[in-house]
Structure 1
Amino acid sequence: MSLKHHFELMASYNQWMNSKVYEAASRLNETDLVKDRSAFFGSILGTLNHIVVGDTIWLKRFATHPSCTTSLREVADLPSPTSLDQIVSNDFRSLSEHRVFLDEKIIDWISELSDSDLDYVLSYHNTEGVAVNKRFSSLLLHFFNHQTHHRGQVSTLLSQAGEDIGVTDLLELIPEEVADV
């Protein structure tokens, strides 16, 4: 399996898990969604907002890759987040719709990448304004790992609120294959 196929798997996993998380969160009332649970981003809604903020920051950076300017154009045109704890939306429904939009863009964008695109060294400025040059494939690993990290936090917060999101293992999406003999 090529490196690109691994990223396609991660994009599918990201979409699948976000769907499960948002489905579980949708069963909570607004009070439970915004309740400060002493998490890094406070509440379930605060943490979900942070994941959207992080994804937006990274996707806007990725849109500067020469082969990504078209596939990520709609994301590149979004307003830039002003802080990592920014509330993109206090309305769960609109945040959920925005999450679906981002996940569809991620799936489409990753499917258009070539293996050679992954070797590109991306130049960008971090949130503190420091110039950075890093391999695109390594940044993609960070991008998907960041989402998984914070979704793990949300799954704990949901569990504390009495909602179980079910199986979260990537293993569920890894296809069965014929064994080498």
Structure 2
Amino acid sequence: MNGPRHIVLMAQYNAWMNAKLVEAAARLPAAEISRDRGAFFRSILGTLNHLMVGDTLWLRRFRTHPAGYATLDPVMALPVPSGLDERLYSDLPSLAIARQVLDAAITQWAVSVRACDLDHLLPYTSSAGKACARRFGDLIVHFFNHQTHHRGQATTLLTQAGVDVGVTDLVALIPDEA
């Protein structure tokens, strides 16, 4: 596995899956998207909002890396989340627009990450207010893993609501070189 190449692949997977989730959710009435389904972030919309919150917080931290990553400037214009369960977007159409902006920034940023950037210790403050410093490459792995984890929850909620999201496996994006 090549670090930068893997980051680009995960960014592509991220954008692909987020588009699939938004498209699937759009097949439901707004009341169903917002309905409390007993999930950790309550609803499909709550879960999709949490993904926006987590991505925004992490990307704002990533922007402080000495490499600069100007490709993350659009993230700096998004609302700053005040809590992990904050509903930044009250409806799917507004979330979908912001999701596209965020995913475009992630995709552009991923291409700019160099192997020499990955070992840098990135200092940041956690959502709980704790000062931390972790290896940047490990934080990127967490960033993409967090997305996959919560998209799995959203996929389950959509399936329970009778909506088939379709293929969700990363292998669908990996070129077959046979």
Q: Is the 8 A contact 1:68 1:109 kept in 2?
A: no
Equivalent position amino acid for 2:10 in 1:
M
Instruction: Report deviation, 1:104.
Output: 0.3
1:130 corresponding residue in structure 2:
130
Distance 1:23 1:74 in 2: 23
TM-score, scaled relative to structure 2: 0.97
Instruction: Report deviation, 1:66.
Output: 1.5
Instruction: Report deviation, 1:114.
Output: 0.9
Instruction: Determine if the alignment matches structure 1 residue 105 to structure 2 residue 105.
Output: yes
2:114 corresponding residue in structure 1:
114
Equivalent position amino acid for 1:71 in 2:
T
**SS across alignment from 1:147:** helix
Instruction: Report deviation, 1:69.
Output: 4.0
Distance 2:154 2:88 in 1: 17
1:23 corresponding residue in structure 2:
23
Q: 4+ residue stretches of structure 1 with deviation over 6 A?
A: none
Q: How many residues align?
A: 178
Please show how residues 1-181 of structure 1 align to structure 2 within 5 Å.
1-178=1-178
Instruction: Report deviation, 1:73.
Output: 1.7
Distance 2:19 2:79 in 1: 24
What do you get for the CA RMSD once the two structures are aligned? 1.0
Tell me the percent identity: 52
Distance 2:135 2:105 in 1: 21
Q: Is the 8 A contact 1:71 1:108 kept in 2?
A: yes
Structure 1: runs of 5+ lacking an equivalent: none
TM-score, scaled relative to structure 1: 0.95
